[in-house]
Structure 1
Amino acid sequence: MERYKKEFIDFMVECRVLKFGSFTLKSGRHSPFFMNAGAYVTGSQLGRLGKFYAQAIHDNFGDDFDVLFGPAYKGIPLSVATVIAYHELYGKEIRYCSNRKEIKDHGDTGILLGSSIGVGDRVVIIEDVTTSGKSIEETYPIIKAQGNAPDAVKIVGLMVSLNRMERGLETTKCALDEITERYGFPARAIVSMQDVVDALYTDGDRKIITDELKKEIDAYYHEWGAR
């Protein structure tokens, strides 16, 4: 495991973004763990988070993109923090963009916040986590509607912080694999839940994932895990 990935796992736990317990997800599934990117609230936390995302995006997609799109609402601070970090780490200016939940009909009109998206733009989508692929159903048509032509804007890929490694809405495949198959672009994560278990279950005296919790996680994946 790359060093920044192990550091990111520790960072999620430190910030209480990754929690273990009993949670009901947006998909209706009951999970023994939950990730909430909304718990990153300080300047230092967002600064570090942006660097983790920037490293993962650079590793997976390189520099050949123009816009980082963070769907409202949680994707907005993610996209802003990451474009700042990307410039600091790699010296490239990337524009950030997000969407409004409701279209504004006065002043700065339209559905987009931040940068516009135009013909020839290459876009990376950034989210906190995707469990079943529901969120991309809203994001994809918004991006593809820009540029006034079906193929005017190219989506380079999707980056999330955690691959939950569970089946999507329509198949027994991982939600990220399902997104790739349906929409035709790669969907990646900074770390997978397997990375998290490997790091926190075997971490010596600081065992965050206990034997009992490990059994609960295993049972969850027996029911909902990707095949």
Structure 2
Amino acid sequence: MAVDGKQQQQHDARLAQDFVAFAIEAGVLRFGEFKTKAGRLSPYFFNAGLFNDGARIARLAEFYAARLIDSGLEFDMIFGPAYKGIPLGATVAAELARRGRNVPFAYNRKEAKDHGEGGSLVGAPLAGRVLIVDDVMSAGTAVRESIATIRAAGATPHAVAIALDRQEQATENGQDVPHSAVQYVRDQLGMAVVAIASLSDLLAYLDERAGEELRAHRASVQAYRERYGA
């Protein structure tokens, strides 16, 4: 049965809020006062490194795979940038295969290996349209490095999949800029970006599904968005 636009939007919103609930339950998404790389004091912190057991990372891969399949994005293989992207790329590839879409994956080393097969790339040869899988995108530095690696191998950097779009201004040379890293990748680099959830979804979750204790953080999250939102 065909799904109309409104039904798809409702489905996407449910998936995003389910992910927010999962991240909070896993202790990956926390509230308080946290200093970001840009020196901002953020009322929330997302640390994907805390998806640190088999059940959590398997569930995380399910969210990535569901969002990718729903998006209709076409790609030929997955690249997971070191370090957090390595387990993400592998588990997302495994979950996609479980769902009937088997694609190769590869990842890089931070330092090139000078023995054995050598080089800085591991896994399938980079070829075709490459999907970069990572956790978040702050300044876009990691994505630019991945793009250079993919192009150097003769493949096409095609899209990026992330867990959370913070929807906030990026910084360049220590200064705030009006666009986010996600907007930069989409608008300036011409690549699609697929996010499981965004700051808008987090605010919606705090509005609609959170208990009283968590809902108390909504005002500070909204204020942060108004100050730094892109």
**TM-score, L = length of structure 2:** 0.87
Correspondence 1:139 to 2:146: yes
User: Could you say which residue in structure 2 is the equivalent of 1:87?
Assistant: 97
What pairs with 1:1-227 in structure 2 (closer than 5 Å)? 1-2=10-11, 3-62=14-73, 64-89=74-99, 91-118=100-127, 121-147=128-154, 153-169=155-171, 171-203=177-209, 206-211=211-216, 213-226=217-230
Q: Flag the structure with more relative contact order, 1 or 2, with Cα contacts below 8 A and sequence separation at least 6.
A: 2
1:195 CA drift (Å): 0.6
1:218 CA drift (Å): 2.2
Count of matched residue positions in the alignment of Structure 1 and Structure 2: 215
Q: Is the 8 A contact 2:168 2:228 kept in 1?
A: yes
Q: Is the 8 A contact 1:23 1:30 kept in 2?
A: yes
Q: Is the 8 A contact 2:206 2:218 kept in 1?
A: no
Amino acid at match of 1:172: P
**TM-score, L = length of structure 1:** 0.88
Q: Which runs of 5+ in 1 are unaligned?
A: 148-152
Partner of 1:209, secondary structure, is helix
Q: How much is the aligned-residue C-alpha RMSD, in angstroms?
A: 1.7
Amino acid at match of 1:209: L
Q: Is the 8 A contact 1:133 1:169 kept in 2?
A: no
Partner of 1:81, secondary structure, is helix
1:219 CA drift (Å): 2.3
Q: Percent identity?
A: 34
In 2: Cα distance, 1:222 partner to 1:189 partner:
21
1:61 CA drift (Å): 4.2
In 2: Cα distance, 1:129 partner to 1:208 partner:
26
Could you list the structure 1 runs, at least 4 aligned residues long, displaced by more than 6 angstroms after superposition. Answer: none
